[in-house]
């Protein structure tokens, strides 16, 4: 069974999903792991509180790149709130293999990078506007 998951990780590393650049992302952030040199830039297109587009670029080990590929598949179409609620365990479950403590930072780089992207001023302003609009409808 471990070989199947290793093949799965290598497939996402060799042919990552959503690898590329968004023309006009709502938010983006470049994260890095200085211990090993992994770098990932996550770009999000957010419309009406939903991650409608997502892409990433970067380079690094198989774990970091496969993690980014899997994460982009997972968050596309989800609300910003659902993406913000994702935990490291959620991403590790997507990877489906045991990650050693030494490789944990590699595996979680993409999630950390998305979390930082979601603190982008335009995303925060968009959430505040959506919450305000929702509260005025209720009144």
Residue 41's pLDDT is what?
Answer: 98
pLDDT tens readout for residues 47-60:
999 999 999 999 99
Residue 102's pLDDT is what?
Answer: 85
How open is the CA angle 109-113-107, to the nearest 5 degrees? 15
Does the residue 91 lie in any domain?
A: yes
Does the residue 85 lie in any domain?
A: yes
Residue 121's pLDDT is what?
Answer: 73
Does the residue 31 lie in any domain?
A: yes
Does the residue 13 lie in any domain?
A: yes
Which CATH number fits the domain that encloses residue 16? Answer: 3.90.1010.10
Q: How many domains does the chain have?
A: 1
Does the residue 136 lie in any domain?
A: no
Does the residue 36 lie in any domain?
A: yes
Position with higher pLDDT, 86 vs 1: 86
Q: Which domain holds residue 72?
A: 2-126
Query: pTM for the whole thing?
Result: 0.86
């Amino acid at each position: 069974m471990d070989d199947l998951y290793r093949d799965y990780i290598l497939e996402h590393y060799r042919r990552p999903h959503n690898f590329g650049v968004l023309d006009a992302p709502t938010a983006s952030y470049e994260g890095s792991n200085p211990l090993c040199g992994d770098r990932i830039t996550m770009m999000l297109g957010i419309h009406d509180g939903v991650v409608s587009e997502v892409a990433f670029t970067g380079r690094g080990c198989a774990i970091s790149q496969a993690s980014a590929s899997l994460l982009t598949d997972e968050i596309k179409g989800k609300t910003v709130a659902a993406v913000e609620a994702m935990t490291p365990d959620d991403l590790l479950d997507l990877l489906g293999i045991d990650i050693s403590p030494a490789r944990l930072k590699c595996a979680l780089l993409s999630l950390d990078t998305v979390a930082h992207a979601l603190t982008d001023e335009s995303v925060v302003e968009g959430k505040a506007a959506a919450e305000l609009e929702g509260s005025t409808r209720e009144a």
